[in-house]
A and B are shown apart, each in its own frame.
Chain A
Amino acid sequence: MSKNNSYKILNTRLPRVDAIDKVTGKAIYTDDMSFPGMLYGAILHSPLAHARILNIDTSRAERLPGVKAVVTYKEAGTQPYGVSPARYDETIFCHDKVRYIGDEIAAVAAVDKDTALEAVSFIKVDFEELPVLLDGRHAMDEGQPQLHDMYKNNICARVNWNFGDIEKGRKESHIIRTDHITSKMQDAAFMEPQSVVAEVDSHGNLTMWSSTQAPHYIQRTLAMALNMPLHKVRVIKPAVGGGFGPKASCSTVELATCLLALKTGKPVKTTLDREQVFLHSRARHQFFHTMTTGVKKDGTLSFLEHHCILDGGAYASFGIATVYYAGSLLGGPYRLKNMKYDGYRVVTNKPACGAQRGHGAVIARAAFEVQLDRIAEELGMDPIELRLKNVMEAGETTCNELFVSSFGMKEALEAVRDSAAWKKKRSLAGKTRGTGKGIGAACGFFVSGAGYPIYRSKTYHCTVVTKVDEVGGGVTVSSGAADIGQGSDTVLAMITAEELGLPLDDVRVVSGDSNLSVDLGAYSSRTTLMTGHACKDAARDIKRQILEVIGGKLNIPPEKLDLKDGRVVGIDKDIDFSALREEYLQEHKGFMDLPEGPQLTFREASRIAFLEIGSVVGTGSYRPPKLGGSFKGATVGTSPAFGCSAQVAEVSVDLETGEVTVDNITGAHDCGFAINRTQVEGQMQGSMMMGMGEALMEQIIYNDKGRIMNANLAEYKIPTSLDVPHLDAIIVESNEPHGPYGAKEVGEGAIMPVIPSILNAIYDATGVRIDELPVTPERIIEALKKKRENK
């Protein structure tokens, strides 16, 4: 689809505002920063998965020349913190027990990295080893090792939901089937390892630069865990090399580096190595799903009964939200009146899991979409027809009270069906099944910004302050929003430029700083919709002020004026601006680059507005209205809007080796309205690749002691340019009424159909279903062997 509206800036393919800095090496990431006299931090990690700490002896480390500070729980205190206030189960450093290999025990600041690392190796910890719990499926069983006093039977969170009438649904069903899918823990594998620089100024103000997704939440956690007033803590996010979820929660490396800076009075930098990134994790949980679904004879869904255990590793992190999302987001995109969900999020002696792209919902979606395919086969229905029969439309509410205000689900499904020539290829299915070539489809559904903040509060979710240069001409958009590579700075610049009729180069965005404004950060695909609203309002506030001054001076109602193409224009008629121009020219004697032409330039208008009313500052604030039902946990899954997507995958499977080649991916995503078309496609293509990795190759492997055996990017395989096929991204625009200009999410929703469409295609190619992710060649060969033996 091409641009089909009157916007000058929006809906185009303008380059990102940070693109030039990123192709010249000028973009500054946290590890690129240095300060005079800066110290280097290093962390001591637990070598054991579960043990009691008997004694920590730091004396030898402290004696090492060049060491400036060694900190443990004795210095850090034991103030509990975490993500969800009801589950504050972490402390800066372990004090009573260690709960996974990698758990943080101490940190050192020294004059260089080598000295810091050597000092860490000199810290002696006496442990009493405890039995280790690694299998999440059995974490709740009697007699298992217990990780936390606060989690009886290792249950960190449980959800028991019952919407509609399952028994009625069961009675109405023509086909009922139960299937299982399990996955493995996965890593987000962003390219930039976490890095932190912290500094304390002479007034006791702590500033931390960090590769984070959520400066606001991190500011709160630092203040709480370090016992400092919130206004004395500032968090700045430089350029970030990808986040995908794990960088949304506060980490020990952030807290420890701040503590070291407070203790030494010097700037301190700590950068994780790749193995530490794996140990810190906070990435994808391990899921064990069991789903029972019923359908009527005509394919109408009648109920879903869903049971899930989530293995979340040693601490809660974002896991409470994860276990809710795993259930709530199956409420759409299909009409489903009866849904039961029992979710259990358990703790084990492995690195803690948290949020990762498509939070909580990705494997649940895969399980459900695979099951729909199996049901379609039993019914003798085309899988896309079965889905089309059940998709919701705009204006409907799910059984768990999620209101869907715009919904291009049908359009997305039809787009991928037609673009991938589904009917033609699928018509061969009966003949080609099991011959090594396959095609599969799936849908997805996701929030466009979490409806509520993580901590209970009436806070605005974001504010934007836009200020016009007093000299006239340019504007600066200030926001706490976090551009982690997804391109939110570009979205804010484009919205501002559109509203003020300016070229993109005259809009500067400063962002990612907790001192600039409140913004909850880059998670739950919220920024375009939420910060976009605030940004639009701030720009309109400025426009109103400028036009009021100009209108007042010329005795023209401001609503008869507009800002367009860098100029003030009359809406109905040409206006004589010569008196105002004279005022501007008087001030600029000797300047060469003076405005000309019949209309007043933005440069003149904004200068004249300043001369009249002082600094011209526009503000915008956004928070969603009250959303969702009143049942326990009803807030998770709510959103002002919902994105949806469909995908067709085509694969070839070598039936001898089990090797899968993805030949083609065609995806369509309803983003409401594409602020930047290139960036929307980029989010879709990135999602396709990440989902492909999760479907086929990505898994954290533990040994029987709980140690990760593949904590590097050679053995933890992610897709390379050779693995990924051509990725065809189709933009669907449904004009979301609650989004700025009709826009809603794309960042996470687009990953939803990826895994199941590939799984369904593999089934088509091989004739076997693999219910354990990732679908490695070994698992395919094993399944094919089993099938042959059963014949």
Chain B
Amino acid sequence: MVREDLGLTGSKKGCGIGDCGACTMLVNGVATFSCMMLAIQADGCVVETVESLAENGKLNKLQQSFVDLGAIQCGYCTPGMLMTATELLRRNPHPSEKEIRLALSGNLCRCTGYQKIVDAIKAVAGE
């Protein structure tokens, strides 16, 4: 629904069965694997995708930190990582490295070794 009917292709499909986290969106503020959710289940909910993060063409702090610190390689996991990190930082603005790693543990990345993703979130959290 989101990718094909709404044309918001930022959220990615990596597995379709809730294993990889590439499709993570926020549903009423909660990080959710959208591949495991029917559109009708989100009826009346606030759904946020990666497309919603930048405002007026300006990257938010988290996006900018991902860009600046090289938290991106192939970019396929990036939208899901950003949404999971967004939820974490709203819930806990100053997470420890352990809390960051725990929050990201449902989002697989095969390129970065997670190091620069963790660094990028830490840089925002440390502000």
Contacts and interface: CB of A to CB of B under 8 A. Distances in A.
Interface string A470-490: 000000000000001111000
A713 B73 contact: no
Interface string A12-53: 010110111111111111011010000000000000000000
Contact of A189 (B8, B66, B110): B110
A568 to B, nearest CB: 31
A718 interface: yes
Contacts of A567: none
User: What is the interface residue range for chain B against chain A?
Assistant: 35 or more
Nearest to A239: B75
A686 B110 contact: yes
Interface in A610-666: none
Interface in A709-746: 712-714, 718, 720-722, 724, 726-727, 729
Interface string B68-101: 1110111111110010000000000000000011
Interface stretch (A345-353, A399-407, A493-501, A676-684): A676-684
Nearest to B100: A721
A689 B116 CA distance: 12
B115 to A, nearest CB: 5
Given A15-B68, A19-B66, A727-B113, A24 B76 contact: no
Contacts of A242: 73-74, 76, 110-111
A106 B3 CA distance: 28
A682 B111 CA distance: 8
A485 B51 contact: no
Contacts of B15: 274, 712-713
A477 to B, nearest CB: 20
Interface centre among A18, A241, A681, A724 (most CB of B within 10 A): A241
B23 to A, nearest CB: 11
B110 A25 contact: no
A678 B74 contact: no
A564 B82 CA distance: 37
A244 interface: yes
Contacts of A24: 10, 50-51, 53-54, 59, 63
A23 B70 contact: no
Interface stretch (A190-198, A586-594, A601-609): A190-198
A19 B115 contact: no
A179 B104 CA distance: 40
A23 B101 CA distance: 19
A241 B102 contact: no
A721 B10 contact: no
Given A24-B50, A720-B105, A15 B75 contact: no
A506 interface: no
B5 to A, nearest CB: 11
A192 B59 contact: no
Contacts of B12: 29, 191-192, 241
Interface in B41-57: 49-51, 53-54
- 8 closest A-B pairs (Cβ-Cβ)? A25-B10, A485-B74, A241-B76, A22-B75, A685-B113, A689-B113, A678-B70, A32-B9
Given A23-B63, A26-B10, 18 more contacts: A16-B72, A22-B72, A23-B78, A25-B11, A25-B49, A31-B13, A191-B22, A191-B110, A192-B76, A241-B75, A241-B76, A485-B76, A681-B115, A682-B73, A682-B112, A686-B113, A713-B19, A724-B113
